[in-house]
Every structure is written in C-alpha cells, then in structure tokens.
Amino acid sequence: MFSDVKPEVRSFIEKQKHEREQRRSERQRERAAVTIQKNWRGYACRRRVHQECCLYVTQFLDSAKSSDDKQFNLQPATILPQIILRLKYNFDANEDRMNFESFCRYLIHSLNSEDKELSYISLVLRRDFLIRWISNTRWILSTVVKYFKIINPSSASDSNFMNILLSLTLILTNSAQWKVITEEKLKTGMTKLTKSLVVHLVSSDLFPALQIMLKKGLALHIPVLTQISLTGIFSLAMRPLLVTDFAPQNLSPFILHILSVPGFVLHINSLTPEAYDVFVRERLCSHVIMYLSESPQNQRLILDGLEGSYALCLIANLIHLSLLEVEVLVEHCEEFCIVVSKLLDRLGGYVGRKKSNLTSWHPILGWFAQPLDNYLQAAVPHVTNQLRLLWHGRMVRLLFADLYEQEDLDGTQNPVATASPISGQSRPAAAAAAKPVSASKVSQKRPARIRPGEQTVTERRSVEGLLPPNPPSFVSRRTAASRFTERLTLRHFLRQLAAAGHSSSLSGGKFKYRNNEGSSLPIYPHQQCRNGLGPEDLPQSIKAVCMLYCFTIGSLKEIRNDILAGLTLGDLLPRMWRLISHAGCVRDWAAVLASPQAGWQLEPHASHLLHLFTAAASNLLIILDDVEVFEKQKAFELEELMAISDFFNHLIYETVLLMPDPSTLLLVDISQKQAASSPSRPNASDSAINGSQSSLTGPTVFAICLRLLGVLYDRDGRRRFTPEGFWLIKELKPSAFLADLRKEKVHATFLLKHVPHIIPRKERVILFRELVRANKASLGILSQTNCMLDSAAVGAVIMIHRNRIVEDGYQQLANLSTTQLRMKIRVQFINAMGLDEVGIDLDGVFKEFLEESLRRVFDPSLNLFRVTTDQRLYPSPTSHIQDGHLQLFEFVGKLLAKAVYEGIIVDVPFANFFLTQILGRQRASCYSFLDELATFDRDLYKSLTYVKHYEGDVSDLELTFSYDEDCLGQIVVHDLVPGGRYITVTNDLKISYVHRVALFRMYKQIRAQTASFVRGFYSIINPDWLAMFSPLELQQLISGDSVLIDLEDLRSAAAYYLRLCLRDLLFFFTSLHPQTIGHTPFSPNQRPSHSDIAFYPSLCCT
C-alpha cells in the first residue's frame, strides 16, 4: 500500500530525532545545574548563618564562664531567648552537642538563681516573653529526650552529659525548685505550667528514651549507671505519674517501657535506698496491679506492646515491687495473682518443647519462639534473682497468709486421744499398731517447723541485697478488713466445716481405723463424703495464689525444680494437704479433676490447689532420701503419707470412672485448643486475657496426680510404710475387672495401664499368662488338642555341646526370628565324647539348657554382669573389653525373655534399678536413681549423702561436676554436664550434683548394654504385658516368690488333677512301680492329703 521510505528520508528523520534529544538533554542539564546551584547557595547560606549562630552562642557562653570553668557569670535573662533562637537554628545533635551541653550548664545556674533579672524562670512572669518561654522550653525538653536516645552511659563524657540533662529536666518540670517564685499565689499557676511541660515530655517519647538509656546502663553483667544517674532517671520516670496522679495515659507507657527494663527495680532498690520510700509512699505496685486488673483492654495494651522476653522482665519487676510494697500482697492479693498469672500465660505461649529453626534457647524459659537481644542475655542473672523472690520464704508466707494463720491446719499440735474402733485403743496407739514393721523404727522426734514470720539462713542469703534490711513483719490478711471480709476468708470456711459437724477431722490430720472383717486399714477424713461445702467453696485468695504458682512452674520450665523446692520449705505442703483432705471427699475432688482445663484455667479454681500440691509434693519426695522421709520425716509424717497415698489412689480411680473416654485425661493438648481458636499467637491474647482458655502447654493435673501416686507407690515398694492390701481398691472386684479387660473396655484398659496395683498381683500374673497363651495360640504354638500331646510347632532344633553351652546357643539362636523363638525349641546335648545324649526333649532338656546358659552368662567372672553390695546383678560397665559384647547382651535378653515366656523360673536376682530400666521407668519424671544408690554402692551413697547434708560451704570440698573412674589402671574423667570438670559444686548445685552422679553410675555408664539387653528381651515379650508389674513384681515373675508355698493353692490344684487320674485310670495306685507307702491308710471316701503328695511325688505322675 505504501511505498518504501527512501534512505535519505530515513537518515533525515534520525538526524532530527537525535538533535531533539540533545536539546532536551541540554535543557535538563541546565535545570539541574540551576537546582544544584540554588540548593547549594541555600545550604551555604544556612551553613554560614548556622556557623554565625554557633559562634554567637559559643562567644556568649565563653564570656559567661568564670575562671574555674564550672561557674558562670550570669547575664540578664532577657538575652536567653535570642541565644535559644540561634541555638535552635538548623540544630544538629552531633555538631552542636558541645554548645547545647554548655548552654544546659548555664541554664541550670540560671534556674538556681534567686535574682529575677538573671533567672530564666523570671521570663514566665513577663507577658511579652511567656509564649516564647514556653516554646523554647518545650524545644529544650524535646532535644533532651533526643539525646537520651543516643547517649551511651558507659562513656565517661556521655555520663556527665546525661547527669546535666537529667538535672535540667528535673528542675524545669518541678516548680518547687524555682527559687525565684516565692509568692504563694503564683505557685498554683506554676504547677499547672510544669504539668503541661511534663505532658509535653511524655508526648515527646520520654519513656521510650528512658528505656533505651536504662538498657544501656543496667542490662549488663555489671551496671554502669551511677547512683546519681539512676536516681535522676527514676525521679524523672516517676514525675509524670505523680503530676497526673497515675493517670492511665501515663501509667501505661511507664509499665510498657520502664517496668519492662531487665532488673530495673533490683538496681533501683540496691543503688538508691530512698527509692524504697517512694515505692511504699506512692504505692506504685498497687497502682500498676489495679490498672492491669481493671479491664482486659489495659492488659491487651501492655501484652501487645511487649515482646515475650520483656514480658518476663515485667513479671520479675512486679514480683520485686510487691515485696517492697507488702501492702499490695495484703490488700490486692487476688488481683496481683491473677495479673501475674495472665502475664505468665501469655509468656508460656512462646515457649516451645524442642529446638527448631524458629526457636532460640532461653536460660529461664527453654526453647523460646523469639530471639534474645544482647541486653536480655546480659541481664538474665538479674532477672533470675528477681524471679526467685516469688518462691522466697517471705513471699510464700505473705501469699499463703490465710493458710498459715489457721491453727486447725497446724500438724504440730497433738490431738486429744480418742477411742478407736480397734479394741478400744486410743487413736495414737491404734495408729502405731497398724504401722508396718519397717516403719516402727522411725524416730518420733520431729524437727521444729519454721514459724510464719521467720526466715531461714538460706532464705536470707538468697535475697541479700534484693530486699530492705529491715523488712516488714509478717502481715495478717485480716488487717485489710475492707478487702478481705470474714465471709471470704479461710477461717470462715473452716468454721463452716466445724459447724457442719466435721470439726473432729481437723485435729492435726490424724485418722481412725476401721475394723471390717478383721481388717485394720485406715479410714481418712477424705473418705467420708458429706453434704454442703466442697472444693469449689474454698476462698478465692487461696485459689488465686495457687493459680499463680501453677502458671509459674508451667512457664518457667528451666527453673521449675527451683520453684517447687522453694515451696517445700516449712510446713506449707502439710497444711495444703490438710486443707485438701478436709475441703471435700474423693468424689468431690474427682469432679474437680475431671473438669475441662483442670489446673490451667485463667480464673481461680479449686484444681489449682490440687495442681500445686501434687507438683510440689512429688518433686519433694523425689529429692528426699529414705532417712529424710522415714526417720527425720521432713516432708510428712508417716500417717500423712498413708493418707495422701490413699487419697490419690482413690482419686485416680474415681476420676477415670467419671470420664466417658479416660484417654482424654492425658491426651488433652491445651496449646492446640488455643491455636484452633486463633491463627496467630499475638491475636490469641484476646482469649487469654478474657480467661476463656489457656495458651500454656503442659501436663494435665490428672497426669501430675498420677505422677505423685507413682512416687508414693515406688517408695512404698522400696521400703514399706503401708499395711498389706493398702493399694487395692476394695470396691473393685477382680473377676469383673478381668471380664471388662477381655471385652477391651476403655476404663479397665486405662486403669490396668496406669494404676495396675489396684488389683491383686495374683490376678495380674494370671492375666499375663493368659496374654502369653493367647499369643501362642495366634502363632499356632498352642491349641486345645496339642497342649498335652506335644504336637506344637517347633521353631528350631539345636545341637549343644556340654562344654560349649553358651557359645553353641548363641551361634544357633541369635539369628532366629521372633516367631521362631516363641515356638518350641528342641535341644540335643552332645557329651564330652562327642556322642548324642540319650533322651527325648519334652521341654525338660530345653529347661536345663536355659538354666545352665543363664547361670554361666550371669556369672560375674565373665564380666558381662556385676553384683551390687547386696549381691544383685546389673550390666558391667567394662563389658566392652569383650568383642561383640552388645550382641551378647541382646542374646542374654532373648534367653531371659524365653524363660519368662515359657513360665520357667530362673534364679537370677537383678538389681532394682536395672529392673526399672528393663521396664522403661527410668525415663519417668518421678524416678530418682539416688534412691537406689544405697543398694548399688554403699560407700558412694555415704559420700553423696555427706555432700547433700553438708552444712558448710560445699565449694570448700573442691568438687566438680565430673566423675573419676579407674578403668583398667587408668583414671578416666567423665563430665556429668558439658564442661563439668571446670564447674565447681556449690550449695545451690549440690542437690543436682548428687543426682547426676547417681544417674551416671547407674544409667549412663551401662546405657548401651542395657539398651541391647532390653532390645533382645522385648523381641519376645511384648512391653505392654509387663507394664502392669512393678520392678519387684517383675523380679518375682522371673525368679519366683520367696514366700512359703501356698498350701491352699496346692490343695486345689492337686485335688483336681488327682480326681482326673482316679476317674480315668483303673487301679491307679496298684499299678504304680514302685508301690506307694502311705503312713495313713486311705478309706474308700478319702483322697490323699497334701503331705502324702509332698512325700510321694509319684502320686502325681502317670
């Protein structure tokens, strides 16, 4: 359509386009040059003016200086607005710092002057200067705040500059220091003026600036802020609160930025003693607690503005403040506990269970979902010291003041001896009569309890420098009548119990005995269900305090044991137990335990009392040794231990029956519930603040109660303190229970798995044999037709030389499958001559092979196993000198399992701690190897006990976290913790040290050998089959019982077998060769007695 463009036309167009581009570029360069020149001329002009202004200010300040450079010859105050105007012009914080510092010095001298012509304050009294004075002063204060953000207190020059700025700000915001104002009628207006300046300071980010400065000066291993500087910062931070009477708009940023500084209250209290008077006089802690408890919006504002680690710092400062201002624990105890609990709940939402790419390690919280900055890492020791105050003796006694006041819960008084149902004995006599033999030797001398107002030496040392030297005395909560009315106190609750006719049960927690068909089992107050009051009627103050400690041990995971140890001082736990036992019967508490979110509600609940007691009691009973428990009775009296055992034994049983699905008692994951309601953690604060559900992850209260029950049962297994049949549930019929198990009902299965001791051991052994027979039947090994005819499937036929029993057995059996090992194994012995021994193996030859093999491998001379001081076997730590020792351990485990599987009794006494590891109980949090150390190595146990009870400074013993072992003539040092040989054992670490030594000697040294043995053992025996037995019962299953033969059991079994023989075979006795010789002739209607069968075994053979 169009003809082609000629080349000359195209070149012309391109040329014109290029020239047009050049002209546009030229115009752009010209405009750029003009812009640059304009800006440069403006900058140069401003720079010149700025230099002139700076020169003017410098000349003014130099002329005003006196000879010593610290004093000024003051000029008329009217010239100061001109100086400030020039100082403000194009102000640069870095370049103009020297001028501003000198001007601040000058201004301080001017403010302190009483001459109206020279004082800067005199300009306020002149109407023509007032507006400019306010504007200039606000600029000065804003500039001061900017310098607060960049000052480094560790620098000497910056520290001096900071003190100057603090002095100037404090004078400008306090009209009482304006010496030129002397007339009373002017002071009211001046006060309003300073209030407006304080408001301007807050709006200029005063609190964030002070936070930055405090972090730089305090969040260090050694604080660099001086006493003067810290006093000035504290006074300046408190001024907005005091001026505005703790207005919420000022209190909120104070909490958010000042009280979240790590160790703030600790350093304020230690470096500025006068701050203690301010805390108490102004009741700072009370204002903070009431502000946070007034509405969920206030809490949300604080929690959303704080990172997780700084929330922990806020908690630590609140705890320290509450002990400085004790009245808050008296008048606002419930509010304090609820506020701190909600802060801890929010904090627990960031705590993880294991390491991941999104977590970092926190020394207090464990794996944490937020990183730690340098300030937090350096200040962790200070924060930890503040947190320790929460379980310090004084704090515990203040929070549990209601509990300590009640004499009805004091166990030191001896109740009046009353008649007992047992043969008219007095109650103490009946109690002594029902004690087991092992407990009768217990000393009756009890150590004196710590009085509520006293402090132990350890307590005083632990808070040295944290609290005032003269702390307030023990405060009764009854003194705050306006807050704690008689209707809400624990005293009123106990009076109601007494009025209901239960006062007799409040006398020291003692118990009566019942006489049902000759039984002497105790009956406790908690077994007597009564109408009226129950756990839900406990006073709110007690439940709130328990809730606080529950969330504390749930969030501060890495110092959980320290917290629980602090709660065990004195007689707090016995008092809590007496309150629990009298507040309701087992069924009442079972309903509490079965409630949703039991123990983790964000509102005071009776389950918190149960949660705290079980956690602290189980931790204490694990730490204490047998001497402390049974002889010194440091934790509880033996009667109380029996009562606690009975209570929780029945509580677990009743709670399981209440639940449609008992598995939910252990499988409830609180964190998943929280996550389901909120997609992100920060938005989850709404539900957490409102108390709808908890964000903490942790064990259920039922699991903690189960843990305490396990501790008590294990300790009773090692040293009996309960009568025979104590742990059985009398209401539970074994026949019905076993029938439910066969039907696989959930309640029976759950109870057998977690509390198998509630049914007799005999029934569990029968159940074990039934499980083995069922397994054999499923494999075709055993049936109704072949059990007597020996037609069962054979897994292997092995040839064993008499002089190589272990070696031949290992070569031929080690590689067999689990199914083959469970089948019949036939053995053909070969004698020393190389000939087959005559005989048919109908299990007897295999039994001989099994017994002989086990006898040889368990011989200590083989160095696979060693013996303890009481001749009990355990794996040898030096077995590694033999080649393939782990494979040999696995083979031994298979042999022993085969014996248990076939019901063959072998005389192999194992150490209890090794049996515990076979059952897998060593991983349970309720197990302590130190309890078993006395039977393992008495000398080591005595040494560790000496260290544990050493009253002086343990560091004088020069022990480290390491263990020296003599291995084949060489000393090998094993670190108990990473770098343990360089960590000195101190009084704070000695409990950890003795437990780690026991753990190393009895577990870590033989961990590989035990793992191989257990792997072989459970290749034949199903672990679930043995879960119903304790270590002692497992030993009895392996080696039989050491008691005399049960003749009644023999009578029933022998009579039935003999009856079959007499009915099926004619002339049974006359056909026996040799003939029987009876000392008493049998009449036609009389069968042989058991003595006949015992003396003449041929009566039972055909």
What pLDDT, on a 0 to 100 scale, did the predictor assign at position 802?
Answer: 86
Name 426's bridge partners: 419
Beta strand ranges found along 675-793 (DSSP E): none
Counted residue by residue, the chain has a size of 1102
Neighbours of 486 (CB within 10 A): 10
Q: What mean pLDDT value characterizes the chain?
A: 79
Q: Which residue has the higher pLDDT, 873 or 785?
A: 873
Assign 3-class secondary structure to 365-382: CEEECCCCCHHHHHHHHH
Give residue-wise pLDDT tens across range 293-330.
Answer: 988 888 888 988 888 788 899 999 999 999 988 888 88
Residue 293 token pair:
């408890």
Given a cut of 50, is residue 1018 above it in pLDDT?
yes
Give the range among 241-250, 840-849, 854-863 with minimum mean pLDDT. 840-849
Alpha carbon distance 45, 851 (integer Å) = 107
C-alpha distances (whole Å) from 984 to each of 672, 898, 957, 980, 988 are 42, 48, 9, 8, 11
Alpha helices in 204-307 (DSSP H): 206-218, 227-243, 248-253, 264-271, 274-282, 284-294, 296-305
Q: Residue 108: which of 172, 61, 193 has the closest Cα?
A: 172
Alpha carbon distance 509, 641 (integer Å) = 11
Q: Which residue has the higher pLDDT, 279 or 502?
A: 279
Given a cut of 60, is residue 758 above it in pLDDT?
yes
Residue whose structure tokens are 């206030």 = 298
pLDDT tier, 452 (very low <50, low <70, confident <90, very high otherwise): very low
Contact by Cβ (8 Å): 643, 509:
yes
Residue 253 token pair:
């940023």
CB-based burial of residue 879 (10 Å sphere; 0-12 exposed, 13-18 middle, 19+ buried)? buried
pLDDT tier, 798 (very low <50, low <70, confident <90, very high otherwise): confident
Given a cut of 60, is residue 250 above it in pLDDT?
yes
Residue 760 token pair:
């007799």
Alpha carbon distance 314, 301 (integer Å) = 14
Residue 639 token pair:
């009667």
Neighbours of 104 (CB within 10 A): 19
The DSSP secondary-structure symbol of 90 reads T
Q: Which helix (H) or strand (E) holds 933?
A: helix 933-936
Name 522's bridge partners: 513
CA 975 distance to own-chain centroid:
25
Give the range among 11-15, 449-453, 751-755, 777-781 with minimum mean pLDDT. 449-453
Amino acid at the residue 369: A
What pLDDT, on a 0 to 100 scale, did the predictor assign at position 379?
Answer: 86
Q: Residue 1009: which of 881, 906, 900 has the closest Cα?
A: 881
Alpha carbon distance 174, 165 (integer Å) = 14
DSSP characters over 405-422: H-GGG-TTSPPPP-B-TT
Angle, nearest 10°, between helix axes 156-172 and 227-243? 30
Residues of the chain with CATH 3.30.2160.10: 902-1043
Question: Taking every pair of C-alpha atoms in the chain, what is the biggest distance, in angstroms?
Answer: 149
C-alpha distances (whole Å) from 979 to each of 383, 998, 999 are 25, 18, 17
Contact by Cβ (8 Å): 720, 694:
no
Given a cut of 50, is residue 675 above it in pLDDT?
no
Amino acid at the residue 176: A
Name 866's bridge partners: 874
Q: Residue 606: which of 536, 700, 523, 711 has the closest Cα?
A: 536
Residue 146 token pair:
């900017």
pLDDT tier, 290 (very low <50, low <70, confident <90, very high otherwise): very high
b/e code 826-844 from CB counts within 10 Å (16+ = b): bbebbeeeeeeeeeebebe
pLDDT tier, 656 (very low <50, low <70, confident <90, very high otherwise): very high
Alpha carbon distance 284, 322 (integer Å) = 9
pLDDT tier, 849 (very low <50, low <70, confident <90, very high otherwise): confident
Residues 6+ apart with CB under 8 A from 1090: 1047, 1050, 1051, 1054
What pLDDT, on a 0 to 100 scale, did the predictor assign at position 116?
Answer: 86
Alpha carbon distance 882, 878 (integer Å) = 9
What pLDDT, on a 0 to 100 scale, did the predictor assign at position 25?
Answer: 92
Contact by Cβ (8 Å): 524, 646:
yes
Pairing of strands 970-975, 962-967: antiparallel
pLDDT tier, 1078 (very low <50, low <70, confident <90, very high otherwise): very low
DSSP characters over 514-538: --STT---EE-GGGS--SS--GGGS
Give residue-wise pLDDT tens across range 136-177.
Answer: 999 999 999 999 999 999 899 899 999 999 999 999 999 888
Give residue-wise pLDDT tens across range 915-946.
Answer: 989 998 776 556 778 878 888 888 888 898 88
Give residue-wise pLDDT tens across range 326-370.
Answer: 888 888 999 999 999 999 888 877 776 666 667 777 788 877 777
Residues 6+ apart with CB under 8 A from 433: 422, 425, 520
Using the Cα atoms of residue 283, residue 288, residue 291 and residue 293 in order, give the sign of their dihedral: negative
pLDDT tier, 3 (very low <50, low <70, confident <90, very high otherwise): low
C-alpha distances (whole Å) from 446 to each of 414, 449, 572, 732, 1088 are 12, 9, 16, 37, 58
What pLDDT, on a 0 to 100 scale, did the predictor assign at position 337?
Answer: 93
Alpha carbon distance 633, 443 (integer Å) = 8
Given a cut of 70, is residue 129 above it in pLDDT?
yes
Alpha carbon distance 243, 694 (integer Å) = 38
Pairing of strands 360-362, 873-875: unpaired
Give residue-wise pLDDT tens across range 799-845.
Answer: 888 888 888 888 888 888 888 888 888 888 888 787 877 766 666 78
Q: Which helix (H) or strand (E) holds 321?
A: helix 308-324
Name 966's bridge partners: 971
Alpha carbon distance 73, 91 (integer Å) = 25
Give residue-wise pLDDT tens across range 183-228.
Answer: 888 888 888 999 999 999 999 999 999 999 999 998 888 889 989 9
Residue 482 token pair:
């306006």
Residue whose structure tokens are 């004084």 = 394
Alpha carbon distance 288, 328 (integer Å) = 10
Average the pLDDT over 845-860 and give the result: 88
Amino acid at the residue 766: I
Alpha carbon distance 678, 676 (integer Å) = 6
Given a cut of 60, is residue 668 above it in pLDDT?
no
Give the range among 26-35, 343-352, 589-598, 1026-1035 with minimum mean pLDDT. 343-352
Alpha carbon distance 581, 508 (integer Å) = 11
What pLDDT, on a 0 to 100 scale, did the predictor assign at position 865?
Answer: 92
Average the pLDDT over 770-779 and give the result: 88
Alpha carbon distance 1092, 1098 (integer Å) = 10
In a 13 Å sphere around the CA of 151, the CA atoms on its Cβ side amount to 29
What pLDDT, on a 0 to 100 scale, did the predictor assign at position 545?
Answer: 93
Q: Residue 1093: which of 1054, 1035, 1049, 1052 has the closest Cα?
A: 1054
902-1043: which CATH architecture? 2-Layer Sandwich (3.30)
What pLDDT, on a 0 to 100 scale, did the predictor assign at position 511?
Answer: 40
What pLDDT, on a 0 to 100 scale, did the predictor assign at position 781?
Answer: 74
Give the range among 80-84, 406-410, 912-916, 981-985 with minimum mean pLDDT. 406-410
Average the pLDDT over 863-871 and give the result: 89
Alpha carbon distance 403, 452 (integer Å) = 10
Given a cut of 50, is residue 762 above it in pLDDT?
yes
Q: Which residue has the higher pLDDT, 205 or 451?
A: 205
Q: What percent helix, strand, coil does the chain show, rounded to 5?
A: 60, 5, 35
Given a cut of 50, is residue 479 above it in pLDDT?
no
Alpha carbon distance 383, 379 (integer Å) = 6
When mean pLDDT is compared over 965-969, 1024-1028, 1073-1077, the highest value belongs to 1024-1028
Average the pLDDT over 280-295 and give the result: 91
Give the range among 626-630, 888-892, 960-964, 1043-1047 with minimum mean pLDDT. 1043-1047
